[in-house]
Amino acid sequence: MSAKSQGDPGEDHVSRVRAESPCSDMKRAAAKKLIERYFYQLTDGCGNPHCDNQHCASSGKVTNLTPNQAAAQAIQLFSQEARLCDGTQPSKVARTTIEPGQTSLAKSLPVKSVNPTSSDEGKQEPYLTEAKLLDIIEKCKAEDSYSLLIRTLGEVFSSGKALSLSFQKTEKSNSPLAALLERAPDTLLRPPADLNKEAVRSLQGEDKEEDSSDPSPTVPNNDDTSVDLPSVRRAFEALWSLPGEVFESALVNALVTLADDIELDLRVFRIVRWDSMDSLLNVFLIVFEIPMLGNSEYLELALHMLCKALSCLPIVAQAKLARVWAKHCKSRLPNLLQALQELITVKVIGGSFTRDYCVQDADTITAPTKVMKILYYASMLAGELDPPEMILGDEAESASSDKTTSRSAISGQIPQDALAIELGINALDARKPFIPFTDFYNEPLSDAIEMDKDFAYYKSEEPMKFSFMNYAFVLTPATKTLGLYYDNRIRMYSERRMSFLQTVVGQPTNPYLRLKVRRDHLIDDALVELEMVAMENPSDLKKQLVVEFEGEQGVDEGGVSKEFFQLVVEEIFNPDYGMFTTQEDTQMTWFNPTSFESDAQFTLIGIVLGLAIYNNVILDVRFPMVVYRKLLGRKGAFADLEDWSPTLYRTMKELMEYTGDDMPETFMQTFRVGYRDVFGSLSFHELKENGDELYVTQENKKEFADLYADFLLNKSVERQFNAFRRGFQMVTDESPLALLFRPEEIEQLVCGSKIFDFAELEAATEYEGGYTVDSEAVRNFWRVAHSLPPESQRRLLQFTTGSDRVPVGGLSRLKMVIARHGPDSDRLPIAHTCFNVLLLPDYSTIEKLQDRLLKAINYSKGFGML
């Protein structure tokens, strides 16, 4: 026996295995066992603090190795017949999958460094797995002492490094050592000179890339994670099977410490102390799986601190977190949203806010709002998204030409959100989000925000100013309407100042957009004047609108404009006018594909719609939702047919869901479709070349549905709609409309709320001139108002406010005033629609009040006519 083997029984053992094992299966099993022993000797050590083996972790001579590096080096040691410590027994460590981290299951937590050095780099981090946590829980139950559990949770959950190593996936496909051991036996057992060095070098090269200490590591554009999230959930379920008072205080304190450290790393050290951004994301993935984040101490302390830390992540990391949440954490998203909403609500209700310290200054509110944005996009990614080809042509070109300066459809100077750009999505792309958009509204927060100040923050060039207008998904439509109102008014005042300055320098201009029209030539007069403005100076469209009816006394303080828009809409959207049609089954307005009107006419109608929004006027129009989607830059799709024509949609669904092979014989449908024009004549259109000869089959039915929807909603009215949208953009191109509102919210903005509740109006009404809520005439008025049929109630609203539409947020947002107009008399009530004031005489009986009121609302029209 050689001196080498005499001095090293471990090496002698290796030699004997190679010499005495004639069977290849036995050789393979023995080789696997030895390679595993080398691997765990490198990662765990033999347990002897005085070990002098340079290839043993217990000697202190082995630098920290990743699993890949340890696997590669274990094969090298096996091939070199290197020394193997007796303390590293196969029976103790034999397994074919690698558990994450740099400690073994045999070690109990907390784990201290086994290297005799004071350097932090030599310390081994504790970590948790589902098995470890279950073992600790069982041990604590058996001993009736939870000190080990408390100490473990404290050490792991207070250390980002330890937590990032915890709950890692342990599948064979993710194990470098297991992958090597699964190779053919001759690969592992061939002589040292013939070992596959390329494979070893490849493993080492991969590890060098993973261990890069670049202070700004890149995050791969994927939705993968190394965290075993199902294992995390099972572990937390087991943990919360224990009484909460046993461990929750320790866990909360650990989470606060963890959040503080991470925030410090991100704000000060710029993640230099982290090996990779993926490791940091692992931490957030684990802690946001804690089921009790929305309860008690977690809500007040831990969740707020974790949100602050998470909000410091760079955009690219936030984007990856959104993708991981969308793919792997769908079931968790609603609970997480609820916890964030509760945190914001608690902080809003319990806060003491003033003009000097408002909700935008409270990081207990802004931090969870920032986290909610990540959740908002995760919900969209987890739902149904439209494909990129649904973007209208001009928008697609803008997005592809320069991603960083991408603009929304009608927002001109308004850039998209940076996170949306990184993810490559927009709220318009979400056909059906996993969580409804309305669930993100926070009403207490929306009511607490002073939108004038928030708008000032939004316009501020100072980057530290937080504005909820950049997080509009959390605001109710009524609150967002205020933000749009301030933007519109400031733009009007700006135009007025410019007119004043031009007048001073000798170039007088009108500070208002003035329209003088005749009632019997309303459309001709209005469209001619608007066309002249659009051609000569389109910027004048952004001035405040002032309307004058020829021969009438009314001075426009808002009420005259309301009536003007109402009359224009009644006439121009009438199917008899020929520019629009009415859908039979929905009674909604749609563009006439065979209209003889010029593009300029449709452009002017778009201007009218834009002016109504710009001047805060609600219109009585009934467009299908696809119109508002198209205004914001998205094409109509098959799903839009459900709202556009429910009957056609049901028919198409039957065709799409049919599974028989006899589809051509059953439906007899070709790629040639028929439609009727405004005169009732039947016309045909081929969706594809020679479409009349191509029948719809199982293979092409989806193509047929998409082409048919594209024809009906896009191509057949392309000329008319493009002109209409061009006029709309002339007024709204610089407005934050697209930033604040989604299509269904713009519908509310244009048409008003669908909730018609006179009880809300009564609760919000104020009284002047001697009237109070208890006055007999006031009580009689509301008895009459509540007893009226809905159509008469709308006339009353029209008479009093100038519009029969309900503002966004309901009638409670309409501040109506009832003022006493003298003692009992035969005079009719009078209304100042500009200010929503009803002048009501003090009628002596309810019968007289009802008679006078009904005559006023049914026969009054115009100004100075009563």
As a whole number of Å, the CA-based R_g of the chain is 36
Separation CA 361–CA 353 (nearest Å): 9
3-state SS, residue 45: coil
φ, ψ for residue 430, nearest 5 deg: -85, 100
* Helix (H) or strand (E) run with residue 372 in it: helix 363-382
3-state SS, residue 514: strand
Amino acid (one-letter) located at 131: A
Amino acid (one-letter) located at 317: A
3-state SS, residue 31: helix
Contact by Cβ (8 Å): 807, 484: no
φ, ψ for residue 384, nearest 5 deg: -100, 125
Query: Residue for token digits 């998203």?
Result: 333
**Which of these, 410, 473, 433, 417, lies nearest to 634 by C-alpha position?**
410
Separation CA 779–CA 783 (nearest Å): 6
Separation CA 191–CA 155 (nearest Å): 46
CA dihedral of 65, 68, 70, 72, whole degrees rounded to 10: -140
Q: Is 853 exposed, middle or buried (0-12, 13-18, 19+ CB in 10 A)?
A: buried
Separation CA 110–CA 100 (nearest Å): 16
**Which of these, 92, 147, 154, lies nearest to 128 by C-alpha position?**
154
Amino acid (one-letter) located at 232: V
Q: Which residues have CB under 8 Å from 363's CB, separation 6+? A: 308
**Which of these, 324, 327, 418, lies nearest to 373 by C-alpha position?**
418
CA atoms within 13 A on the CB side of 680: 0
Angle subtended at Cα 527 by Cα 523 and Cα 530, rounded to the nearest 5 degrees: 145
Separation CA 288–CA 779 (nearest Å): 55
Amino acid (one-letter) located at 300: E
- Residue 838's DSSP bridge partners are 818, 831
Q: Is position 329 annotated as part of the catalytic site?
A: no
Amino acid (one-letter) located at 98: I
Separation CA 419–CA 374 (nearest Å): 8
**Which of these, 614, 619, 618, lies nearest to 541 by C-alpha position?**
614
Of the residues 46, 85, 329, 834, only one is catalytic, namely: 834
CA atoms within 13 A on the CB side of 169: 14
- Kindly report each contact of residues 680-689 with a partner whose C-beta sits within 8 Å and lies 24 or more positions away, as own/partner: 683/594, 685/711, 685/716, 687/711
Separation CA 147–CA 153 (nearest Å): 10
3-state SS, residue 859: helix
Tokens of 166: 């915890």
821 to each of 13, 719, 761, 830, 842, how far by Cα in Å? 112, 53, 21, 9, 7
Tokens of 30: 């023995």
Q: Which residues have CB under 8 Å from 300's CB, separation 6+? A: 346
Which positions are annotated as active-site residues?
834
